[in-house]
Structure 1
Amino acid sequence: MDRQLLSAIAHRDHPIAAPVSAANLDRLLRRAALPEGARVLDMGCGAGEWSLRALELVPSARADGVDVSPHAVASANEAAVGRGLSDRLTLHTMPADAFAPAQPYDLALCVGSTHAFGGLAETMEALARFVRPGGLALVGEGYWERPPAPEVAEAVGEYPDLAGTVARAESKGWLTVYAHVSDLAEWDEYEWSWTGTLARWAADNPGPDGEQALAVMREHRDMWLDGYRGTLGFVTLLLRRL
């Protein structure tokens, strides 16, 4: 099984695909105050929950979702059809850095997917090409709440602290106008959903695929419980393009 399929399975019960509750996702989108007829871009859209909710909040809006995973795009399409939004969401299966829109957007989303552009600063530089002057970006990124153990930092990645994350996000012509810092309960809900959904799928699918899924789940759970739980933070920044 490829990792994209495993990720799609793991996120089935938590389509937000980030340690953010549904209530806080709504709060962030409402704070964006999208205009009528808004154009929304969701880079690394996964199952599309962020852009789909934006379309529900602004019935005249339209959105493009971009993801390299065909499994994630299929999930987003299924969700859009089920919620009667497929006529306003256009999905693109391609790398984020290959997407070339014809018109700028009012809001660009990149939550938990900055790796698609090579990091947070590179993501903000890329989003500035997609968003109109005065438009907005919602960007979700990890940061270290406290210095991690060396082996945890090596496994998870190099992140600054919260202040450094905000500074990095603002370094390419953006201004933070709101933010949400995920709490431990949101992290636990996300991680238990991720590992639990994959574990249940593995139990229902014995054989090589199930064994692989179970191994991936256990590796991830061990790194979370014994490594970054309570140390790795997550912030979702609402930024305005200057």
Structure 2
Amino acid sequence: MNREQMSAIAHAEHPIKSPLDDDSVRRLLDRGLASGNERVLDLGCGSGEWLLRALATRPQLHAEGVDVSEDALAQARSAATDLGVEKRLVLHHMKAEDFTCAEPFDVVLSFGAAHAFGGLLPTLAAARKYLAPGGRVLIGDGFWDRPPSQEAIEMLGDFTDLATTVDRVVADGWTPVDGHVSTRRELDDYEWACWGSLAAWALDHPAHPDSADGLTMATTRRNEWLRVYRDTWGFVSLVLRQTPDRV
């Protein structure tokens, strides 16, 4: 079983692949999709959960998603059909950097995909290419809530503290108009859901050739979370507009 398949199993009970609960996702969408008839682009959309939730509650919305995972996009298409929103959703199987569009988007989303672009600021640079004047970016990424160990840095990456993270975003030409810092409950619920789902799958499928590997991965990831980064890592979601003198 490849990493993508393992990830799909791990996120079965938490399809928003970030430490955000349903209320937080709903509030961020409400702030980012003010009119309800926007054209929305999700860079690294995965199974399209953000777009599906937006489309299901906003009948005038149109959305496009870009992802390298054919399996995740197939799941998004199936879910869109079940919801009756498939005519308002276009999905692109490609790398985000290869995506082009004839007209810009009112809102660009990217959650849990910053690693694919090389970090938060490169992700914002990608979003800027597709954003219409006056548009908004909804983005989520990690930060260090407390000074991390070297092991945590090597495991998760070289984040900064929350204030410095926001300062860098502002210096890059963006103005936060809203945001959300994931709570301890959201962070813990996410980790328990991911590694619990993977462990449960392994226990439920003892004859599967990847069962032992799945259980080992779930145990390893759970221990890394509890012992290495639980008390230091946080997650911030931002609703951004371009600062006028940088537009």
* TM-score category of the 2 structures, normalised to the smaller one: over 0.9
Q: Distance in 1 between matches of 2:87 and 2:50?
A: 16
1:189 and 2:189 aligned: yes
Say which is worse superposed, 48-57 or 203-212, in terms of deviation. 203-212
Say which is worse superposed, 81-90 or 203-212, in terms of deviation. 203-212
- Determine the structure 1 residue equivalent to 2:213: 212
Q: Distance in 2 between matches of 1:194 and 1:168?
A: 30
SS of 2:231's partner is coil
- Determine the structure 1 residue equivalent to 2:235: 234
Q: Distance in 1 between matches of 2:189 and 2:63?
A: 27
Deviations 1:179-206 (A, max 9, x none): 0000010011111110111111112223
Q: Distance in 1 between matches of 2:101 and 2:214?
A: 36
- Unaligned runs of 5+ residues in structure 2 are none
Cα pair 1:96 1:116 within 8 Å, conserved: no
Q: Distance in 2 between matches of 1:151 and 1:198?
A: 24
Cα pair 1:15 1:48 within 8 Å, conserved: no
Q: Distance in 1 between matches of 2:33 and 2:14?
A: 25
- Unaligned runs of 5+ residues in structure 1 are none
Say which is worse superposed, 149-158 or 71-80, in terms of deviation. 71-80
Alignment of 1:70-219 (within 5 A): 70-206=70-206, 207-219=208-220
SS of 1:208's partner is coil
Q: TM-score, normalised by structure 2?
A: 0.93
| Structure 1 residue runs of 4 or more that deviate by more than 4 Å after TM superposition | none
Cα pair 1:28 1:238 within 8 Å, conserved: yes
CA RMSD of aligned residues (A): 1.4
Cα pair 1:136 1:238 within 8 Å, conserved: yes
- Determine the structure 2 residue equivalent to 1:18: 18
Q: TM-score, normalised by structure 1?
A: 0.95
Kindly state the Cα deviation for residue 36 of structure 1 after the two structures are TM-superposed: 4.6
SS of 1:12's partner is coil
Say which is worse superposed, 156-165 or 85-94, in terms of deviation. 85-94
Identity, % of aligned positions: 47
Q: Distance in 2 between matches of 1:239 and 1:40?
A: 14
Say which is worse superposed, 9-18 or 79-88, in terms of deviation. 79-88
1:36 to 1:148, Cα distance in 2 relative to 1, 3 A: closer
Say how many residue pairs are matched: 242
Say which is worse superposed, 90-99 or 181-190, in terms of deviation. 90-99
Cα pair 2:33 2:107 within 8 Å, conserved: no
Q: Distance in 2 between matches of 1:130 and 1:172?
A: 16
Kindly state the Cα deviation for residue 11 of structure 1 after the two structures are TM-superposed: 0.9
Q: Distance in 1 between matches of 2:37 and 2:152?
A: 44
Deviations 1:24-56 (A, max 9, x none): 110111112433531001111122111111112
Kindly state the Cα deviation for residue 69 of structure 1 after the two structures are TM-superposed: 1.6
Deviations 1:136-190 (A, max 9, x none): 0000000000111111111111100001111222333221110000001001111
